[in-house]
Amino acid sequence: MEAAIRTSELRKVYTSAPPAAAGRGPASRGPKKKEPKPQIVALDGINLDVAPGQIFGLLGPNGAGKSTTVGVLTTRVRPTSGTAWVGGHDVWRDQTAAKRKIGVVAQRPNLDFSLTAREILQFHGAYFGLSHHERSERARALLERFKLTDRADQLVRGFSGGMMQRVSIARAMMHDPQVLFLDEPSAGLDPQTRLLLWEIIREYNEKGRTILLTTHNLEEADALCQHLAIIDHGHIIASGTPRELKASVPGGFLLRLRFGATSPALLERLGTLAGVTEVRSTGDSAVDLYAGRGGSLIPEIVNAAAALGVEVSDVHISEPSLENLFLHHTGRSLRE
C-alpha cells in the first residue's frame, strides 16, 4: 500500500530567520565570500514513511524541526533539497493535488478574523468545492462536535485561545482530508479540551484517515500515536511504536527500593541479578536500581534480600518512558 506521507532526504536551510513557528536548528556559517549570510539548518536529511490510517507523532523539543517538517509537507515551506510526498503526490511538483489531500492545523491559530466561526468553516468548504448544502451541514456538525454552536455566529476575533484552536481543527476537518496535520494541537488547551481533542482525533483516525501530529508532550505522544519519530536538531534520532521505542532504552526501568537496612553485600548481590545495569545507594536504606525489566525482578530482589536477612519495605517501579528515551539519545531532557 502506498505511504500516506513520505519524505526522502528532506533538508531545509534558512538563510534568514525562519518563521516564528518553524524550527531553529543549530546555526552554522555560510561561505565566507561576499556577504556571509547566517545559515540555519532546520532539517538535515529527514526520511519519513507514514502508512495510511496511522496516527503518527513527531516528538521533539522546541526548535527541533517539527514545524518545518510539517511546513514542507503542507506546501508552506520550500525544502532546500529532498522530496516530500503526500498521498502519492510530490508536494512541490503537484501542489494543488497535494493540497486537496490535506488538512492543516498550524501551531498558532491563523483564523480569518473578518469572519464568524461558521463562516470560516463554510468558506473553507467552498474553497474545496463543497456544495452549499454540504457546507452548511458539515459546518453545523463540526461546530456541534467541537462544542462551539453557541458562539458559531460571532466573529472569532473575540474568541479565547482554546476556542480558536478548536475552530482551527474543525476547519481542517471540513473537507474531510485524507491526511490531517496537527502542529502542537493541544498546546495551550485546558485538560478538558485536550481530552475532547484526543477523542476527536481518534474518531477521525477510525474513519481510516492518516494523522500526523507534532508534540513535545510525552503523555500526548504516548496516548495518541501508533507510531513515533523522535526529532532533534533536524535529524530523526529514533522511530517506532511507543512501546518499541521505550523498550529500546537499555535499562529503561527504574526501581526505587527501600529496605529495612542496606549493606555493601546487599548492593553487590542486587548488581548480579539478571538485567540489572546499575545499582545506586541513595540514602541509608534506599536503593535505585536501573534494569532492563521491572516487575519480574521483584521476587528475585525479595529473595536476595531475605538471604541476607533484610526485608524489603517499599518498591516503586517507573516504566520505560519517552523521556528516558530522549535522554538516552540526546543526553538532554525533552523539557529543557
Partner 1 sequence: MNGKAFLALLARDVHVARRNVVPLLFQTFLQPLLFVFIFGRVMVGSGYMKEEYKSLLLPGIMAISMVFTGVWAVAMPLIGEFQFTREIEDRLLAPIDISWVAIEKVVFGLIQAVVAGLVVIPLAAIILRPGLELHVTAPLVFACITLLVAGFSACGGLALGCSVDQQHIGLMFSMVLTPMIFFGCTYYPWSALNKFPVVQKLVLINPLAYASEGLRATLVPQFPHLSLALILIALAVFDALFLIVGLRQFRNKAVS
- Catalog residues that contact partner 1 under the rule CB under 8 A: 14, 18-20, 22, 71, 74-78, 95-97, 99-100, 102, 104, 106, 108-115, 119-120, 123-124, 126-129, 171
Alpha carbons within 13 angstroms on the beta-carbon side of residue 283 total 7
Q: How far is CA 11 from CA 6, 14, 85, 97, 212, in A?
A: 14, 10, 14, 22, 19
Task: Please report which helix (H) or strand (E) contains residue 59, including its range.
Answer: strand 55-59
What's the rounded Cα separation, in Å, for the pair 32 and 204? 50
| In the block, residue with C-alpha cell 492518516 | 210
Of the two residues 131 and 303, which places its CB atom closer to partner 1 in the complex? 131
Of the two residues 113 and 190, which places its CB atom closer to partner 1 in the complex? 113
Residue 237 CB, nearest distance to partner 1 (Å)? 25
Kindly report the backbone phi and psi dihedral angles of residue 16, in degrees, each rounded to the nearest multiple of 5, phi listed first: -125, 180
Q: Are 105 and 184 in contact (CB under 8 A)?
A: no
Of the two residues 169 and 224, which places its CB atom closer to partner 1 in the complex? 169
Residue 114 CB, nearest distance to partner 1 (Å)? 4
Q: How far is CA 245 from CA 9, 107, 219, 227, 320, in A?
A: 22, 26, 14, 9, 9
Residue 68 CB, nearest distance to partner 1 (Å)? 9
Residue 94 CB, nearest distance to partner 1 (Å)? 11
Of the two residues 77 and 322, which places its CB atom closer to partner 1 in the complex? 77
Residue 126 CB, nearest distance to partner 1 (Å)? 4
Q: Which three cell numbers stand for residue 56?
A: 503518527
Of the two residues 23 and 61, which places its CB atom closer to partner 1 in the complex? 23
Of the two residues 96 and 272, which places its CB atom closer to partner 1 in the complex? 96
Of the two residues 177 and 242, which places its CB atom closer to partner 1 in the complex? 177
Residue 182 CB, nearest distance to partner 1 (Å)? 14
Of the two residues 155 and 302, which places its CB atom closer to partner 1 in the complex? 155
Of the two residues 78 and 243, which places its CB atom closer to partner 1 in the complex? 78
Q: How many residues does the chain have?
A: 336
Q: How far is CA 51 from CA 25, 159, 206, 210, in A?
A: 27, 36, 14, 8
Residue 14 CB, nearest distance to partner 1 (Å)? 8
Kindly report the backbone phi and psi dihedral angles of residue 134, in degrees, each rounded to the nearest multiple of 5, phi listed first: -60, -45
Q: What is the 3-state secondary structure (H, E, C) of 83-122?
A: EEEECCEECCCCHHHHHHHEEEECCCCCCCCCCEHHHHHH
One-letter amino acid of 90? D
Strands 81-86 and 55-59: unpaired
Query: Per DSSP, what are the bridge partners of residue 287?
Result: 257, 281
What's the rounded Cα separation, in Å, for the pair 175 and 170? 10
Residue 67 CB, nearest distance to partner 1 (Å)? 11
Residue 293 CB, nearest distance to partner 1 (Å)? 47
